[in-house]
Amino acid sequence: MSEPLPERRALVASPTPPAQAAAAELADSFDWVPPEEADLIVALGGDGFMLQTLHAMLERRRIVPVFGMNLGTVGFLMNEWRRHGLEERLRRTRPFNVTPLSMTAETIDGQVVQLPAINEVSLLRETRQTASLEVTVNERVVLPELACDGILVATPAGSTAYNFSAQGPILPLGSALLALTPISPFRPRRWRGAILPDKARISIRVLDPGKRPVSAVGDQREVRDVARVDVVMDRARDLTLLFDPEHALDDRITMEQFVS
């Protein structure tokens, strides 16, 4: 970071024992303030807790940089946990901007719910019945009927998560792309997804929501019995993750393609 370090910093931690123990070790490192008053947040936990931290900021509508330290499992969005030298590490961090998706879901009873998603928006069948979906990109119907278990729209930051497990492509950070990936497609059998410009407006309509109910999920928050879902990038709310210079998140995303 080229600018002076913010004085008002918050420490947040996952409820897991390792994260709570680490938080206790750092308790006296700074004069921590509540997250809603901070200009920088230090988050202790795993990738799931990082997503919770980022979503909490979006809800407060006060967005500040976040430096995460991994005390979970994968820790793809986190730095290595080290107790000492935190001040110097914060001084040397590299920022990465992450633009979230905005999901607008309309339920079959007419309720409209808008949620942000940092990793992906996914539509999933609710019962044993296959989902039947119409997919529109930029007001043009590109798939009149997709029979599948579901479909997801992933950002570059989220392309190594659920999207990759569903056989979707890994997108480099800064690529200005989105992945549109089917989940267990039945018809058309040969369609394996699409890579779209991140300016694309994606709409997914549930063709038979009464018989074949579908839920929509923005990262970890679910809306059930949806009739239609619209997805766009929310460029008004860019998030900033801070990383140690040697962390190289963009390189880690690239190298995920070669992990066996």
* Nearest Cα residue to 19 out of 65, 83, 91, 76: 83
Is 119 annotated in a binding site? The answer is: yes
CB 253 within 8 A of CB 156: yes
Is 155 annotated in a binding site? The answer is: no
CB 130 within 8 A of CB 186: yes
The catalytically annotated residue of 28, 31, 39, 47 is: 47
Is 73 annotated in a binding site? The answer is: no
C-alpha atoms less than 13 angstroms from C-alpha of 176 in its C-beta half-sphere = 2
Q: CA-to-CA distance for 106 and 120, rounded, in angstroms? A: 18
Neighbours of 135 (CB within 10 A): 21
CB 131 within 8 A of CB 123: yes
Cα R_g (the chain), whole angstroms:
20
Is 240 annotated in a binding site? The answer is: no
Q: CA-to-CA distance for 185 and 178, rounded, in angstroms? A: 19
Cα angle for residues 131, 133, 135 (degrees, 5° grid): 150
Is 70 annotated in a binding site? The answer is: no
Is 28 annotated in a binding site? The answer is: no
Is 161 annotated in a binding site? The answer is: yes
Is 97 annotated in a binding site? The answer is: no
> Does 47 participate in catalysis according to the annotation?
yes
Is 149 annotated in a binding site? The answer is: yes
Is 165 annotated in a binding site? The answer is: yes
Is 49 annotated in a binding site? The answer is: no
Known binding positions for NAD(+): 47-48, 119-120, 149, 157, 160-165
Please give the positions annotated as active site: 47
